[in-house]
Amino acid sequence: MSRRVHIITVGASLIANAARDGALKSVRKAQRVDEMEEALRVGEVNRSEMHKELVAYIRQKGDLASAELSSMSDLLERYKIDMAYLLYTDTEVGEACSRALETYLREREVEVVRRKIEGYTDERAFSKIGLGNLAKEVNALIKKHKKVDRVYVCATGGFKPEAAMVTIIAYLTGAPVYYRHESFLMRVAIPPLPIEWHPKVMERYKDALMELINRDVPVEEFHKRFGEAIAREMRDDYMLIEEEADCYRLLPIGRLLYHAMFQI
C-alpha cells in the first residue's frame, strides 16, 4: 500500500524558540544555540530533562514550536504524513531537536526514522562533507521509496545552503518540495522541475569516477591518466574530489554523481 513519506531537514529552531520563551529550565546559563551546543557537549545539561522540556514545549505551542512543525501542521491535522525521516546534523543540538520531534510525531501516529548526517563540525566539513552527505541521503531515500510511495521533501529546517541542496536533489529525482517562511501564514509547495544531471559533465568525469569509487588515487597517477585540468575542475569547480596525503579521494557529491550516472 502506498504511503506518504516525508523527508524532513531538522534545524535548531525548536531549541532556540524554547530557550527564548523560557521553557528550558535544564539550561541555566546558555541561551544562544552555540552556547547550548557547548553546554550539551561538556555535560552541563541534563539531557533527559531537556528532552522532556522540549516535548512539553511542542505540546504547548503546537506548530509554532519549530520551523519543521509549522511546515507540516496542516498535513499532520489531515493525517497526510504516514512516515517521516528526520535528517539531523551530527551536533548535540541536532540530536536534541530530532529526538523531541520524533517523540511528538510518534504521539501523532507517524512512523519516524531519524538519520544523522555527518560533517557539520566546522565550516570546512559543512561545505565539503556535510552538504554532500545530506544530498546523498536525500537521494537515497527518494530512490528507496519513490517507486511505491508518495515522497515529499520538507526543506524548512536548517541553513539556507541545506535547503538549496535538498531542493536541487528533489528536482533531480522528481520529488515535490515544500517549506514555510517564518512570515508566511501558509505552506509553500515547489513542484519538481524537469532537470537532470548535465550529460557532458557526467561523460567528462566518468572514467575518473569509476577509478576513484574504489580507491584513493595518487595525485601524480591521476594527472597522468586523466589530466590536471580534469583534476582542477573536479576539485575546485564541482567539489567532487579533494586532495589529501598526496592522493585524490571522492567527496560525497562525487559519490552521488557516480551513483546517479550508473544508477547504482
The CATH number of residue 239's host domain is: 1.10.10.10
Residue 227 and residue 113 in one domain: no
Residue 254 and residue 134 in one domain: no
Residue 185 and residue 244 in one domain: no
Which of 190, 219, 245 terminates a domain? The answer is 190
Q: What is the DSSP letter of 122?
A: S
- Confidence (pLDDT) at 186: 67
Dihedral (C-alpha) 204, 210, 214, 220: value to the nearest 10 degrees? -50
> Quick one: 11 exposed, middle or buried, by C-beta within 10 A (0-12, 13-18, 19+)?
buried
Residue 180 and residue 68 in one domain: yes
Residue 213 and residue 106 in one domain: no
Residue 19 and residue 124 in one domain: yes
- Confidence (pLDDT) at 237: 87
- Confidence (pLDDT) at 263: 66
- Which range has highest mean pLDDT (82-96, 129-143, 169-183)? 82-96
Does residue 108 register a pLDDT over 80? yes
Q: Is the dihedral of CA 235, 241, 245, 246 positive or negative?
A: negative
Which of 151, 172, 190 terminates a domain? The answer is 190
Residue 245 and residue 146 in one domain: no
Residue 71 and residue 163 in one domain: yes
pLDDT, mean of residues 158-173: 82
CATH number for the domain spanning 142: value is: 3.40.50.10770
Which is nearest to 241 in space by CA: 253, 256, 228, 251?
251
- Confidence (pLDDT) at 157: 80
Residue 216 and residue 160 in one domain: no
CA distances from 120 to 10, 55, 126, 150 (A): 13, 25, 5, 29
pLDDT, mean of residues 228-241: 92
Dihedral (C-alpha) 145, 146, 150, 156: value to the nearest 10 degrees? 80
Does residue 5 register a pLDDT over 90? yes
Which is nearest to 69 in space by CA: 21, 37, 108, 123?
108
| Total domains present in the chain | 2
Domain of residue 141 covers 4-190
